[in-house]
Chain A
Amino acid sequence: MNIISKKFKIRLLSILGCFIIVSCEDFVEVDSPNYKMDSQTVFDKEETAKAAVKGIYNELFNSDFSNGYTNSISVLAGMSSDIFETTSVTDTRYGPFQQNEISPGQTPDATANFNLWSSAYRIIFMCNSALEGIENSQSISEATSEILEGQVRFVRAFTYLYLTNLYGDVPLILTTDYRRNATISRNSSARVFEQVITDLDMAISFLETVGDYENLERTNVNLYAALALRARVYLYQQQWEKAEKLSSLVINQTSTYEILENPDQVFLKNSREAIWQITPIPIGTFQFTYTWDGYFFRGNVNSPVKLSSNFISTMDSQDKRLLNWIGFNESREFYYPQKYKDSRSRGNITEYSMVLRLAEQYLIRAEAKAMQGKLVSAIEDIDVLRYRAGLGLISDSNPQIGKEPLLEAIRNERKRELFSEWGHRWFDLKRTEKAAEILAPIKPLWEDTDVLYPIPDEDRSKNPNLTQNIGY
């Protein structure tokens, strides 16, 4: 009987033994699924690393701050300046932007402000993730990795430039570590500018050989896009000489860029005036192929935003920009931007959303030259745009114009040329410190602290280290 008991024990042992052997930890390892790619693997191959950068460009079309749609910089900053007005007096989203009374809390305007803010930080996250991936990658060639890094740094600089211009001091987030970033404090706007410059300078050096557009698509950042943005930063920092130098580098690249004679062709895809554009993404069954800018400003009865009468009144009735770039809604009698003509196409992309274009470089150079006292040469630059607009040239009408009147003329030309694009007017008013002077008379609730938007409460409640701007 003991024998059986022993036999049994041996059997039992061997069965249990089998169980232990076959049950292994490896069994519950699974590969990444077909629709997900491990971050590390993404940057193991050039092809997928490039796709990660393309992903950032694609997301710029979807991202609130950059898409030209309801919560974009183009719309909101345009409301805050003297370009746009609401079509309805009770508009709770845009009204507060127009009145410069944005709430940091939970109202519709605050939601718009939060979307603007958070979408920009989403892009920052993507850039940081890509930069970390590129840096840790062992297998991408140095040449490719430099080009990719240059493009990503450019987008990060571009995004931070807008963040700091809108909000002043902002948290400077340069990693993807959410545990650390969740409690980060705001950095001074000077520090953010420093980072923008570092990123742009690195982009310029990494993209040095990339003078052409990849696949001839102006949606891919090249050297001149980086130079153009750097020129703008110099302008904002009042480094006139350098601003002039860099904008000249872009303007002189005549094999790639020119001021198009026909205003209707400026915003077409890959137009020769474009330095950087964002392509619409045909999404969904209906394959929408128009820009959000075009859709938002289609000027129908439901449009919440119109061009202010104040702005329209500053335009010459012969100005082609009024005739070609502005529409009029007969039934509700308001003017609306019509730089983009396509608001409903399906299946065929004809326009890209413009981010940087050559006209701005002429305006930068004109201002930089005027500031340095090179008035004649500045007039030449400004006349390039006036000529295209079908207006009389300053060199003909007023060649002896003084520095201050010329600067005033350049500022007005900027307003008329770049309206509805990327909040240029708002940032120009702020950098030239003319916001109070110009806006106070037309906005009864104006306060000098309104030049900065409020930091959204939604983030401040989750990160107590985020302080609020003065005046909110």
Chain B
Amino acid sequence: MQNKHTIRDRCILLTLLFIFSIGTYSLFGNIKSVNFYELAGYQHRVKGTVTDSNGIPIPRVNVEIKGTSYGTFTDKEGYFYVDAAPTDVLILSYIGFKPLEVLVGNSEELSLILEEDVTNLEAVTVNAGYYTVKERERTGSIAKVTAEEIELQPVVSPLETLQGRMAGIEIIQGNAIPGNAPTVRIRGQNSLRTDGNYPLYIIDGVPIISTPIEGGSNMYIGGIDPLSSMNLSNIESIEVLKDADATSIYGSRGANGVVLITTKKANYNKKTEIETRWYSGLGKVSRKIDLLNTEQYIALRKAGLENDGREPNEITDYDLLLWDQNRYTDWQEVLFGGTSYINDFNISISGGNSTTSFRLGGSYHKEGIVFPGDNNYHKATVNLNLNHISKNEKLGINLSVNYGLDKSDVPATIINSFVSMALSLPPNAPELYNQDGSLHWEKWNLSGRNNPLAPILNRTSTDRGNNLVANIGVSYAIIPGIKVKLNGGYTNLSRRYKGLFSKNEYRPELRESREHSSIENHRERSSWVVEPQFLYDFTFGKGTIDGLVGLTFQENTSRNLRVDGNGFVSEALIGDLSAAAATNVINNKEIDYRYNAIFARLAYNYNEKYIVNLTGRRDGSSRFGTNKRFANFWAVGGAWIFSEEPFIENNLPFLSFGKFRGSYGTTGNDQIGDYGYLDAYEATDGPNGLYPTQLTNPDYSWEVNKKLEAAIELGFIQDRITMGVSWYRNRSSNQLVGFPLPSITGFLTVQANMPATVQNTGWEFVLSSLNLSSKNFRWKTFVNLTIPKSKLLDFPDIEESSYANTYRIGYPLNIRLLYQYDGLDSETGLHTVADINKDNTIDDINDHSVIKDMGRKYYGGITNNISFGNLDVNFLVEFVKQEATSLYFDPPGYASNQVIGVFQKWKNNSPDIQKVSGNYDAFSAHNLAMNSDYSISDASFIRLKTLSVKYNIANHLKKGLLSDCSIFIQAQNLFTFSNYANSLNIESPGNAVIPSLRTITLGCQVTF
């Protein structure tokens, strides 16, 4: 029965699409076919030059034959070649200039001058995944960042370069070690499950599994970014699709937004060119916390003993009795204050004739890791892009292959121990090394602590990755306006981790009872995708129709094998599993996922004024039970360019552009483990056993996200100033969470769709302004601002669920439930929190009465691009308004370092800190306060995220020697301003994690 339904649904959808397509053709086909005959006329080669009004050649101008998608770009000298018929019209477009349309006529050489224009809406096209749209005419919400903003940033994860540059997109680097996956949220958190909020990543049409890969080293808190081995210099643009209009065509994978990464391509008719770029630089952590020096620390400790009325003893007060009272070490400097040396080299060769073009590139990137020891991150990439178009321009082929290798030596440790140890170690803790260079143990032993360098020096941790992303596309124009296309992609990402743990990391006297051990962990993801498509576009009168129908077949396979070895006879043999006394297979999993879809788009544009865009997708996924595999998603978007209306043109002459747009539609989220619907047994911990590990519900299905958006876009004074305001409301329901059950059923939950609803609303503002523009001076400013708001609208029986202590109905998802701080107890001088239910005990379930929103209240960025002759300066200031809990420190009086503020407050007898004391009551009172609103403070920040200065010296050189030569300085995270004193990583306040590095790099770029 179910099959019949799905077949029937599909037939209806197809029939509708068919009627749309045929209908439009039958209506307007005749008009079109006249054009067809004309187009088939005589073609000849046209050579052209393009200059600006000052006669300076403009490179990279897009030259396109109107009504086709064929075209080329001008080269560095402003030349282009194109094969065209005399009746053809060429459209020239380039950012910052007014587009130009010229009839080819019979002349073989054209001299064209582009008029400077601040408006760029006409020319800019944005990639919407399966199709592209003109920025001016788009109906959906799509943000775009191009190569210039990405390629110079010395970071490993491509998406980190987007920080502060796009409205509605939060990118948080939770732990700034190279390759750590940043958290990417497009318009907030939609799924209640924290692991159900990854956007869809697509590189050149090939979907990439966006879930971070489990890191070998556990320092990778967020996992390793699956994009880490991409070459940033090979990225042409990154587009982020946000609303239903843009994401519904991705159906069950579009709920959390889509990130499209397009790699660079070469142009046809372009002389062979070699572009090289090198940069080198230094990086250090961008923030440290001001902690006590030895004198202050000891004063505080002694005050604690005095308050407790206690004489120091050697067991607990080793820092006062056994350690040097004058020694001082800045442990932050020792444990994560290292300098990271950065080197990056990039080369590409590109060129093409009229039918074939190529781009071949390679890169090498190396950066150091700020922890002690000689640890580095390396990345090497190669990439190839080939394009071919047949002489008659009917057949098009493109191939892109991106291959990357990387290797990370980030040490393995107890999570964050280097960082939290650096913050808590007393400043007078003893020396790390003996005179002879060996590790010092004796004084550390007195405290029961390990020498903090011991683990890092006695462990070797290497994580190697290989990543291949390949895509081939073949298209054929059956008749003008009708094209078939086949896209195929293959990806393979594998990572091999090897961790070697010598027992020498333990104190000498403990080593006897310890063993050498190793971890070997292999993770592999491969996938293929095939997408046959059928595209059409027709022009008739004032209207145009374009659209597409396509199919997707995709299969992902993930494998994981982890084997731990234990009891190696000697240090030299660690990692040789055949020499292990015991090996243990921790994980050996192979997961298969298959996905099938049909999708379509139909857009109607009347007179470039009224635009309607319909998209839809029918998805089938192996993640769900047989009854629930298929579902439909759709969206409708529309735009009205009201500035084209005469009454606006006449009455509001300063308004050069005005558009209303809006969209509504559905998307889905299928980010739930595979095979969850299977009634299956798994191996038990013990040998030879099988057991059922869960209750099975074959009837769960997608989370559904209904997205609504309304926006206005305006341009003033010939689009010198453009701005956009959008409002969105995304409601995500059908949440896939564990349905709570009594334990007598055997388990506490069963996977099911709950009618819980999460709402994300927000306002997004973008503004771009050409402040000054003269022959030698140009200053542009871009501003983006996002004001997000999330709310849990509904969650039946939340008290019974495992989310009872995480979420509250009517509140944002990103909340903390806290005690209510009640000041200092007048007798004990210790913190108190309110006993809400008056039962004389403080417990989190009954006494958590304060609900604090930890999310960002608003955030954004301001970019300024200034060019002055050959000098370009641009910088980005990022700002975030947020509150956060304090980073955890032990209570003052304990043998643990403190932030400087605590000392000052103690000196001033401030009622803001509790009595300095080392006893247990002080400890519990302190912990209650840390879990109360006492620990909340403003954690907003403003940061100079990037600053780059570039000078083009090509003009100083002999003409024709080099087509481009520039030197540049790029700085990241130069300054951060925040009142939030005690956090390292301001992006992830309250956690003892490494902040983004402050880096300065110097480099040059030469093209010849």
Give chain A's interface residues, CB within 8 Å of chain B.
1, 4-5, 8-9, 11-13, 15-16, 18-20, 22-25, 27-40, 42, 48, 51-52, 54-59, 61-62, 106, 114, 117-118, 121-122, 124-126, 128-129, 171, 173, 176, 178, 181-182, 184, 279, 281, 283-287, 347, 456, 458-463, 466
* A28 cross-chain contacts in B, Cβ below 8 A: 594-596, 620-622, 629
Is A178 within 8 A of B691, CB to CB? Answer: no
Shortest C-beta distance, A290 to chain B (Å), equals 14
**B572: interface (CB < 8 Å):** no
A9 to B478, CA, bound (A): 12
A8, A16, A283: the one within 8 Å of B479 (CB): A8
A56 to B515, CA, bound (A): 32
By beta carbon, the residue of chain A nearest B592 is A30
Is B582 within 8 A of A347, CB to CB? Answer: yes
Is B741 within 8 A of A117, CB to CB? Answer: no
Is B685 within 8 A of A62, CB to CB? Answer: yes
**B553: interface (CB < 8 Å):** yes
**B414: interface (CB < 8 Å):** no
**B608: interface (CB < 8 Å):** no
**B674: interface (CB < 8 Å):** yes
* B21 cross-chain contacts in A, Cβ below 8 A: 12
Contact flag A124-B746 (CB < 8 Å), given A4-B33, A25-B620, A461-B800: yes
Give chain B's interface residues, CB within 8 Å of chain A.
3, 6-7, 10-11, 14, 17-18, 21-22, 25-26, 29-30, 33, 36, 478-479, 482, 484, 517, 532, 534, 549, 551, 553, 564-567, 581-582, 584, 588-596, 598, 620-622, 629-630, 674-675, 678-692, 695, 740-748, 750, 799-800, 843, 845
By beta carbon, the residue of chain B nearest A50 is B688
Contact flag A129-B33 (CB < 8 Å), given A25-B3, A42-B681, A459-B743: no
Is B742 within 8 A of A55, CB to CB? Answer: no
By beta carbon, the residue of chain B nearest A19 is B551
Is B746 within 8 A of A30, CB to CB? Answer: no
A128 to B747, CA, bound (A): 13
Is A54 within 8 A of B688, CB to CB? Answer: yes
Is B684 within 8 A of A59, CB to CB? Answer: yes
**What would be 29 A-B contacts, judged by CB atoms less than 8 Å apart?**
A8-B479, A12-B482, A15-B534, A16-B18, A19-B551, A28-B594, A29-B594, A32-B680, A39-B680, A48-B681, A51-B689, A52-B690, A58-B687, A58-B691, A106-B843, A117-B743, A122-B746, A125-B747, A126-B691, A126-B746, A129-B692, A178-B750, A281-B687, A285-B566, A287-B582, A287-B584, A460-B742, A461-B800, A462-B742
* B22 cross-chain contacts in A, Cβ below 8 A: 9, 12
* A283 cross-chain contacts in B, Cβ below 8 A: 685-686
Is B691 within 8 A of A56, CB to CB? Answer: yes
* Smallest CB-CB A-B distances: 9 pairs: A125-B746, A58-B686, A118-B743, A55-B689, A281-B686, A55-B691, A58-B689, A459-B742, A36-B680
A11, A20, A30: the one within 8 Å of B622 (CB): A30
Contact flag A55-B690 (CB < 8 Å), given A35-B588, A121-B743: yes
A19, A32, A182: the one within 8 Å of B675 (CB): A32
Shortest C-beta distance, A46 to chain B (Å), equals 13
Shortest C-beta distance, A280 to chain B (Å), equals 9
* B620 cross-chain contacts in A, Cβ below 8 A: 25, 27-28
A287 to B584, CA, bound (A): 9
A12 to B534, CA, bound (A): 9
Shortest C-beta distance, B724 to chain A (Å), equals 37
* A5 cross-chain contacts in B, Cβ below 8 A: 25-26, 29-30, 33
Is B744 within 8 A of A171, CB to CB? Answer: yes
By beta carbon, the residue of chain B nearest A176 is B746
A29 to B741, CA, bound (A): 29
Is A35 within 8 A of B682, CB to CB? Answer: yes
* A287 cross-chain contacts in B, Cβ below 8 A: 566, 582, 584
Is A121 within 8 A of B746, CB to CB? Answer: yes
By beta carbon, the residue of chain B nearest A35 is B589
A33, A36, A57, A285: the one within 8 Å of B681 (CB): A36
Is B590 within 8 A of A35, CB to CB? Answer: yes
Contact flag A34-B675 (CB < 8 Å), given A1-B30, A126-B691, A178-B695: no
Shortest C-beta distance, A434 to chain B (Å), equals 31
Is A54 within 8 A of B681, CB to CB? Answer: no
A428 to B691, CA, bound (A): 33
Shortest C-beta distance, B226 to chain A (Å), equals 21
Is A30 within 8 A of B695, CB to CB? Answer: no
Is B25 within 8 A of A9, CB to CB? Answer: yes
Is A57 within 8 A of B743, CB to CB? Answer: no
Contact flag A19-B680 (CB < 8 Å), given A29-B622, A117-B743, A124-B746: no
A11, A18, A117, A178: the one within 8 Å of B746 (CB): A178
Is B675 within 8 A of A33, CB to CB? Answer: yes
A27, A37, A62, A118: the one within 8 Å of B680 (CB): A37
Shortest C-beta distance, A44 to chain B (Å), equals 12
User: Apart from A38-B678, A176-B695, what are 14 other A-B pairs with CB-CB below 8 Å?
Assistant: A16-B17, A18-B532, A25-B3, A28-B594, A30-B594, A30-B674, A33-B674, A52-B681, A62-B685, A122-B746, A124-B746, A178-B695, A178-B747, A281-B684
Shortest C-beta distance, B696 to chain A (Å), equals 8
A35 to B682, CA, bound (A): 6
Shortest C-beta distance, B510 to chain A (Å), equals 14
By beta carbon, the residue of chain A nearest B695 is A178
* A458 cross-chain contacts in B, Cβ below 8 A: 742-743
Is A54 within 8 A of B18, CB to CB? Answer: no
Shortest C-beta distance, B14 to chain A (Å), equals 6
A4 to B34, CA, bound (A): 11
Shortest C-beta distance, A292 to chain B (Å), equals 13
Is B689 within 8 A of A39, CB to CB? Answer: no
A117 to B746, CA, bound (A): 10
Is A121 within 8 A of B744, CB to CB? Answer: yes
Is A125 within 8 A of B25, CB to CB? Answer: no
By beta carbon, the residue of chain B nearest A128 is B746
Is B622 within 8 A of A8, CB to CB? Answer: no
Is A23 within 8 A of B690, CB to CB? Answer: no
A18 to B595, CA, bound (A): 18
Is B745 within 8 A of A36, CB to CB? Answer: no
A285 to B566, CA, bound (A): 6
A434 to B681, CA, bound (A): 45
Is A61 within 8 A of B686, CB to CB? Answer: yes
Contact flag A35-B742 (CB < 8 Å), given A23-B551, A28-B594: no
Is A27 within 8 A of B800, CB to CB? Answer: no
* B691 cross-chain contacts in A, Cβ below 8 A: 52, 55-56, 58-59, 126
By beta carbon, the residue of chain B nearest A47 is B688
Shortest C-beta distance, A75 to chain B (Å), equals 20
* A461 cross-chain contacts in B, Cβ below 8 A: 799-800
By beta carbon, the residue of chain A nearest B532 is A19
* A284 cross-chain contacts in B, Cβ below 8 A: 584
Is B590 within 8 A of A33, CB to CB? Answer: yes
A54 to B687, CA, bound (A): 8
Shortest C-beta distance, A124 to chain B (Å), equals 7
By beta carbon, the residue of chain B nearest A56 is B691
Residue of B582, B584, B680, B799 ringed by the most chain A CB atoms within 10 A:
B680
By beta carbon, the residue of chain B nearest A34 is B590
* B6 cross-chain contacts in A, Cβ below 8 A: 25
Shortest C-beta distance, B343 to chain A (Å), equals 38
Shortest C-beta distance, A283 to chain B (Å), equals 5
By beta carbon, the residue of chain A nearest B536 is A12
Shortest C-beta distance, A30 to chain B (Å), equals 4
Is A182 within 8 A of B681, CB to CB? Answer: no
Is A125 within 8 A of B30, CB to CB? Answer: no
Is B681 within 8 A of A27, CB to CB? Answer: no
* B564 cross-chain contacts in A, Cβ below 8 A: 285
By beta carbon, the residue of chain B nearest A60 is B686
A59 to B14, CA, bound (A): 52
Is A286 within 8 A of B30, CB to CB? Answer: no
* A1 cross-chain contacts in B, Cβ below 8 A: 29-30, 33
Shortest C-beta distance, B812 to chain A (Å), equals 26
* A178 cross-chain contacts in B, Cβ below 8 A: 695, 741, 745-747, 750
By beta carbon, the residue of chain B nearest A11 is B478
Is A462 within 8 A of B740, CB to CB? Answer: yes
